[in-house]
Amino acid sequence: MTTTPFSSILLVVLGSFIGSFGAVFLKLGSSKLRHGLRQIFNIRLAAGAAMYLLSTCFFIVALQKGELSVLFPLVSLGYVWTMVWSRIFFDEPFTRDKFLGLALILIGVSFIGIGNR
């Protein structure tokens, strides 16, 4: 039985962090689409797509030595980052339900990490 190296876990966490910024840029770029998809090619949308692509590259490298069943759930940490960025960049409110959802995500990721032993 193999275990997932800590370096693979760090790569996925870094990828989820970068991917969450991708979501921010997609939201910023989508505001330019007021007149339909004619302005689909704008720098913010391109930056968002590039960040998602970069985060995928980190994930692929991590998968070389890590277990998919451990690493893929770590991608859900992007939801945690995204909630923080949503508050900072878009002034979206923190709510009790959002915190409950994030707590469940973190609990689930913790259990999966424990299962890595």
Q: Please report where in the chains the tokens 């259990």 appear, as a residue.
A: 111
How much of the chain exceeds pLDDT 70, in percent?
Answer: 88
Our separate counts of H helices and E strands in the chain read 5, 0
User: What per-residue confidence (pLDDT) applies to 3?
Assistant: 83
Residue 1 lies in a domain: no
User: What per-residue confidence (pLDDT) applies to 114?
Assistant: 65
| Domain around 49 | 6-114
Residue 78 lies in a domain: yes
Per the structure, how many domains does the chain have?
A: 1
CA–CA gap between residue 62 and residue 115 (Å, rounded): 18
pTM: 0.81
Higher pLDDT, 37 or 84: 84
Residue 48 lies in a domain: yes
CA–CA gap between residue 117 and residue 109 (Å, rounded): 14
